[in-house]
Amino acid sequence: MAGGQDERRSELLRQGAEADGVELVEYESRHRPGTSAERRARRPVLLFWALAAVAGAAAIAHYIVWPWKYVPPQEPGYALYQAYTPLLGMWLGLSLIGVFGALINHVRRVLPKETAVQQRHPTGPSSEENREIFVATVEDAADNVGIRRRSVFGRAMGIGAGVAGASVAVIGVGGFVESPWQPGPRRGEADTLWHTGWYPEDGEKVYLRIETADPEQVALVRPGDIDPGGLLAVFPFRESERGNPQQLKEVLSRADNPATLFRFRPGERVEYRPDRAGMNYGDYYVFSRICTHLGCAVNLWEKQVNRLLCPCHQSQFDLNQYAKPIFGPAARPLPQLPISVDESGFFYATGDFTGPVGPTFWELPK
Ligand code: FES
């Protein structure tokens, strides 16, 4: 910078300090430019920016290539799946440590030592002179920070902060890359978030099945398998899945499949709703087992009053009112599954749930 401009800026800074009632008690550079002391002070700043850049790039790579799809325990790949979120958090955390470490070291080791005392001043629009002073102050700060004079700082800051910011942006945008509304590869239209595993495709019946110790064993349910006032957890089953271990297991792990088959006691009063007519089979009703608050399994049961309880945040659903929430944070009823009984006496679903399962579409895997 030309000497005249330098003097003019110093003069403006001094005027600005006086006009703002600022007393500069201390203002001195920490190191003379170009000395080895200055180079030593810069080193940790550059190292922290490098950490921010490397960890940010690792977070982006991890997010894109690491296997993230759900793998049940004891299956190959379960350890990798389990490590997905902790490792992603670790890379992002290191990247943020890099950013803040660089900024803290820059302020403590590189910027001039400054102690200033400023009086309060009245609020209102700034005068032309004050604006000029502000510009001079910002330019002076840019020079002192070293971004302008020491271009290596500017580049390190640009790369470190840029990559760290990009890692956060990639993760934010990544969830929108694959549209959850598009038909999926295996079951086409039935794979969209509008449908669960109970969605009947190609006219094939979807039976109610209970889970046993062996996921490949198929145990269907008939009326009479539960006592009045009792309930059972049920999952969908199609004859085309019989003998296919992979599909029989997948059905049990899909997030929106679990449902509760409930049998009312004889003579119990259930609220009548014309829009739900024909969805029950006598005293038997089926509702989603997934809480509409945050998606826990609603698996506690108050038998005397026909209420299902969610153990996570204590929402209660009244089965006498079609699983309407009557206590706790859940705001929507558990969706109902329409059922009937086929000619062999087994329960089957005549359609999909009456509404979205769980808290939101976005958290359900395809
Ligand atoms: S997840 Fe059920 S009450 Fe919160």
Q: Tell whether ligand 1 has an atom less than 6 A from the beta carbon of residue 54.
A: no
CATH 2.102.10.10 spans which residues of the chain? 194-349
| Helix, coil or strand: residue 286 | strand
Q: What is the DSSP string of 12-63?
A: HHHHHHHHTTEEEEEEE-SS-TTSHHHHHHHHHHHHHHHHHHHHHHHHHHHH
As a whole number of angstroms, the distance between CA 302 and CA 286 comes to: 16
pLDDT of residue 192: 62
Tokens 């070293």 sit at which residue? Answer: 146
Contacts of 342 (CB under 8 A, 6+ apart): 205, 207, 348
Residue nearest to atom 3 of ligand 1 (CA): 313
Q: Determine the topology of domain 194-349 in CATH.
A: Rieske Iron-sulfur Protein (2.102.10)
Q: Which pTM does this prediction carry?
A: 0.60
Amino acid at the residue 323: A
User: How does pLDDT run along the chain (366 residues), one tens digit per residue?
Assistant: 455 676 676 677 767 777 777 777 777 778 777 788 888 888 999 999 999 999 999 999 999 899 887 777 778 888 998 999 999 999 999 999 999 999 999 988 888 787 878 766 667 777 787 788 888 878 877 776 666 666 777 788 888 889 888 888 888 887 777 665 565 555 555 566 678 889 887 788 999 999 888 888 899 999 989 999 999 999 999 999 888 888 888 888 888 899 999 999 988 878 888 999 999 999 999 999 999 999 999 989 898 889 999 999 999 999 999 999 999 999 899 999 999 999 999 999 999 999 888 886 544 444
Per-position b or e across 45-63, b if 16+ CB within 10 A of its CB: bbebbebbbbbbbbbbebb
Identify whether the C-beta of residue 324 lies closer than 8 Å to the C-beta of residue 333: yes
Q: Which residues does residue 302 pair with via DSSP β-bridges, in sequence order?
A: 307
Q: Tell whether ligand 1 has an atom less than 6 A from the beta carbon of residue 293.
A: yes
Tokens 């490949």 sit at which residue? Answer: 216
Q: What is the DSSP string of 298-341?
A: --EEEGGGTEEE-TTT--EEEGGGTSEEEESS--SPPPEE-EEE
Mutate to test the pocket of ligand 1, among 287, 290, 292, 296 (most ligand atoms within 8 A of CB): 296
Centre of ligand 1 to C-alpha 28, Å, is 58
Identify whether the C-beta of residue 272 lies closer than 8 Å to the C-beta of residue 255: no
Residue nearest to atom 1 of ligand 1 (CA): 294
